[in-house]
Amino acid sequence: MRCILVLTMMTSGTLRKWSFVHKWTSLICTIFILMLCLTGLPLIFEHEIEELLTDGIPHTTAASGLPMANMDDVVAAAKAQAPGKAIMFIGDITDDGFWYVNMADTVAGAGTSVTPTVDYYTAKVLDPAAQRSGFMAFMLQLHTDMYAGLPGKLFLGLMALLLLVAIVSGVVLYAPFMRRLRFGDIRRNRATRLKWLDLHNLLGIVTIVWVVTVGATGMINTWAELIVSAWRTDQMAEMVAPYAGQPPVTQPGSLEQAVRAAQTLEPNMQLGFVAFPGSVMSSPHHYAVFMRGTEPLTSRTLKPVLVDAQTLQVTDNRPLPWYMTALLLSQPLHFGDYGGMPMKILWAALDIITIILLGSGLYLWLARRRNPAAPEDQPTESNP
Q: Please report which confidence band the pLDDT of residue 382 belongs to, taking 50, 70 and 90 as the band edges.
A: very low
Q: Which among 112, 126, 129 is positioned nearest to 81, based on CA atoms?
A: 126
d(CA 63, CA 120): 10
d(CA 194, CA 383): 10
d(CA 30, CA 78): 43
CA distance readout (Å), 269 to 63, 259, 347: 23, 12, 29
Of 117-121, 160-164, 198-202, 215-219, least confident by mean pLDDT is 198-202
Domain limits, the chain? 2-48+140-221+338-381, 68-128+250-309
Q: Please report which confidence band the pLDDT of residue 287 belongs to, taking 50, 70 and 90 as the band edges.
A: very high
What pLDDT was estimated at residue 155? 96
> Inter-axis angle of helices 149-177 and 224-231, to 10 degrees?
110
Q: For residue 1, is pLDDT > 50? A: no
What pLDDT was estimated at residue 97? 75
What pLDDT was estimated at residue 143? 94
Contact 172, 339 (CB under 8 A): no
Residue 81 or residue 137, greater confidence:
81
Q: Please report which confidence band the pLDDT of residue 376 belongs to, taking 50, 70 and 90 as the band edges.
A: very low
What pLDDT was estimated at residue 68? 85
Q: What is the mean pLDDT of the chain?
A: 84
Q: Which among 364, 375, 368 is positioned nearest to 195, based on CA atoms?
A: 364
Interval 312-356: pLDDT, tens:
999 999 999 999 999 988 887 888 776 678 888 999 999 999 999
What pLDDT was estimated at residue 52? 74
Question: Could you write out the DSSP letters of every residue in 39-92?
Answer: HHHHHHTHHHHHHHHTTT--S--S-TTPPPPPHHHHHHHHHHHSTTPEEEEEE-
Interval 30-76: pLDDT, tens:
999 999 999 999 988 887 787 777 654 445 555 556 788 999 999 99
d(CA 115, CA 94): 16
Average pLDDT over residues 199-226: 89
Percent of the chain with pLDDT over 90: 49
Q: Which DSSP helix (H) or strand (E) runs through 370?
A: helix 340-370
d(CA 37, CA 351): 6
Q: Answer yes or no: pTM beyond 0.75.
A: yes
Q: Please report which confidence band the pLDDT of residue 233 belongs to, taking 50, 70 and 90 as the band edges.
A: very high
